[in-house]
Structure 1
Amino acid sequence: MDVYLLLGFGIALLLTAGLMPVFIPLLQRMKFGQSIREEGPESHMKKTGTPTMGGLVFLIAIILTAFGTAFFTDLLTVELMILLLVLFGYGLIGFLDDFIKVVLKRNLGLTSLQKLIAQILIAVVSFLLLGMVEFDTGLVIPFTSISIELSGLYVLFIVFWLVGFSNAVNLTDGLDGLVAGTASIAFAAFGVLAIRQDEGAIALFTFIVAGALIGFLIFNKYPAKVFMGDTGSLALGGALAMVSILLKQELLLLLIGLVFVIETASVILQVGSFKLRKKRIFKMSPIHHHFELSGWSEWKVVSVFWLVGLIAAVIAVVLEVM
């Protein structure tokens, strides 16, 4: 089993790293360049025109590697198919959003309602597919034996979890390499837990995603040659949430994905404070921009956030396996 996990990791890494040098010039020729938000930090304006939608490459690498490796290892399970469906579905939403932004030149992309409806639809389909396997609809409290039975209400939880974390990862994707690094750490952490639970297909998926992200990080680290776009970030967030659901470690994602939680909380607090008090808590949200405007270099912000993500993931895994 461990050999196939490493094989999947390596193939996805090499496939992503090998395709990216071909894909980046193609994006440049097609003028698929990132439009930087005017309300963002002024220092980011120099990134205007950097190729985006790079998430397409690692999504293709993940899907091809998963199908190929799982076929030869008899791990092409319903769970793996659900994970690939969520990855593809949320990636498609992100692709349409990016396409509208970079090709149709509408900087806001899909409307919030259009995104929400599509995200909910994929979450509901995922819940229905879970009916094909014996699935526990209880919500396990981390580090305890307590489980809260949700029964039919579990579909509402799945919708909330997938929509919430896909958007949380999307919000985090504002600095070079930030999401690629933190997401690879989170997937690797769940991979360790999947191995412990003898969930081979889920472990294979997490290691493949981690490998693809490290391959992408070669080109996405500061200064980034390519961005993943919503194509990548929405797909990663949705898939990460579904991994936690399939492993029955849903709430543990709050710790393993601590950086994504903090980023989202900073936006909620900022908006709430401004509406209620007409005052801002942070210089800018999400919080990674606050640190930038406080004088931190982009690389320092990313490095510290990676470290926070790594420490949180290690604590979560250690406490769970004890």
Structure 2
Amino acid sequence: MLYYLYSEFGINVFRYITFRAGISFFLAFFLCVVLMPYFMAWAKRSNASQPISKFVPAHQSKHNTPTMGGIVFVFSAIVASLFSAQFTNSFVFLGLIVLLGFCLIGARDDYVKISAKNNAGMKPRSKMFFLFSLSLFVSFYLSYVINFDSSLYVPFMKKPLFYMGDFPLVSTCFWILVFLATTNAVNITDGLDGLATVPSICALISLSIFVYIAGNYELAKYLLWPRITDAGELFVVSVAFIGALFGFLWYNCHPAQVFMGDSGSLATGGFIAYMAIVSNNEILLILIGSIFVIETLSVILQIGSYKTRNKRIFLMAPIHHHFEKKGWAENKIIVRFWIIAILSNIIALMSLKIR
């Protein structure tokens, strides 16, 4: 909406992406902060609380904590984006589809958990079908409708390892894998108060910088980064989502008053994956989302070890539960994981110049 005040009335300040991104950040933040108490009150009246796994008895005190907070921060980000961004832009439009689509899948999973009063949620095949279908749609749209010219870049190397533009089927399949891996990784990480929120904010800040550079001709030329026409407008949506996550963190920090639920974790993971794809950072995402990678690997190693050797590597997986079993205070685990996320994203941003 603000962009059209420039195009229709010539209000020049609304021409600038950074200015509109700043407005979107604060609008999303305040929307989330204001709306969340109303949502929490409704959730408590409706008994929409997080079912706690019987395998984590230390968390039983959290069983009355409202869940599905992701609906609020995703809604706040979408409203702020529609107000601030040029929503006819293809990258913006698809970014909003990603946020809304993955949020709805997660909300369905949360609803099943709440209704059944257990932590199982949807059947794994059903959930994977919906995640795969949406990932396929977005990846297909990028490859065949937008004709997104993508190359596979390796961190700290100037030239792409592989040009995927001539092989849209390859890029589509690869991007589906990125979506599925990232959404599930964020979902796995969301196990302690604020544990997934801050690493998500860190990842989105890094990816927002990369997207802004990719959409800016002068910066892309100076940093030898691939120029992506019109991608810069996605920066407004990403900053809005960061603002919404900060608003959510206001209530999600330890001790949490609300959980994001799958509605939040899947939407966050899906949008992080989308930003990584648009900014040609699919491989660097391993470093940008280091906490998500560590958490997911701990689950894979634990399951693999138990099935092949009938032995456990960790006291419990994901790895944050391992440290809980070792007697670490929840707040200590959370803050140390945040520190790792911040440091890994600083290294990732260094790759802009060290190439």
Q: What is the TM-score when the length of structure 2 is the normalising length?
A: 0.87
Counterpart selection for 2:347 from 297, 300, 315: 315
1:22 aligns with 2:38: yes
Q: Distance in 2 between matches of 1:172 and 1:58?
A: 18
CA contact under 8 A between 1:76 and 1:201: conserved in structure 2?
no
CA contact under 8 A between 2:18 and 2:236: conserved in structure 1?
no
Counterpart of 1:249? 281
Counterpart of 1:45? 60
Q: Distance in 2 between matches of 1:247 and 1:107?
A: 35
Counterpart selection for 1:95 from 97, 107, 119: 107
Counting aligned pairs with the same residue, the percent is 37
CA contact under 8 A between 2:211 and 2:275: conserved in structure 1?
no
Would you identify which runs of 4 or more consecutive aligned residues in structure 1 move more than 4 Å? none
Q: Distance in 1 between matches of 2:31 and 2:353?
A: 32
Cα RMSD after superposing both structures:
1.3
Q: Distance in 2 between matches of 1:279 and 1:294?
A: 18
1:149 aligns with 2:167: no
**Structure 1: 5+ residue runs without aligned partners?**
none
Q: What SS is found at the alignment partner of 2:152?
A: strand
Range moving further from structure 2, 132-141 or 57-66: 132-141
Q: Distance in 2 between matches of 1:35 and 1:104?
A: 9
Pairwise CA distance, 1:248 = 1.1
The amino acid across from 2:261 in the alignment is: G
Q: Distance in 2 between matches of 1:50 and 1:154?
A: 41
Q: What SS is found at the alignment partner of 1:320?
A: coil
Pairwise CA distance, 1:64 = 0.8
Pairwise CA distance, 1:140 = 1.6
| Structure with max Cα Rg | 2
CA contact under 8 A between 2:208 and 2:275: conserved in structure 1?
no
Counterpart of 1:180? 197
Counterpart of 2:83? 68
Q: Deviations over 1:134-175 (max 9, x none)?
A: 412432222211331341211111111101110000000000
Matched ranges for 1:77-116 at <5 A: 77-116=89-128
Counterpart selection for 1:222 from 233, 239, 254: 254
Counterpart of 1:234? 266
Q: Distance in 1 between matches of 2:113 and 2:292?
A: 24
Q: Deviations over 1:69-128 (max 9, x none)?
A: 11xxx3541111111111111111100000011124353111110011111111111122
Range moving further from structure 2, 54-63 or 78-87: 78-87
CA contact under 8 A between 1:263 and 1:286: conserved in structure 2?
yes
Aligned pair count reads 318
The amino acid across from 1:56 in the alignment is: I
Matched ranges for 1:270-281 at <5 A: 270-281=302-313
Q: Distance in 2 between matches of 1:321 and 1:31?
A: 51
Counterpart of 2:145? 132
Q: Deviations over 1:198-237 (max 9, x none)?
A: 2322211221111100100010011000000000001110
Q: What is the TM-score when the length of structure 1 is the normalising length?
A: 0.96
Counterpart of 1:117? 129
Q: Distance in 1 between matches of 2:89 and 2:82?
A: 10
Q: What SS is found at the alignment partner of 1:52?
A: coil
**Structure 2: 5+ residue runs without aligned partners?**
1-16, 216-230
Counterpart of 2:6? none
Q: Distance in 1 between matches of 2:80 and 2:172?
A: 30
1:263 aligns with 2:275: no
Q: Distance in 2 between matches of 1:262 and 1:232?
A: 20
Q: What SS is found at the alignment partner of 2:162?
A: strand
Q: Distance in 2 between matches of 1:156 and 1:128?
A: 9
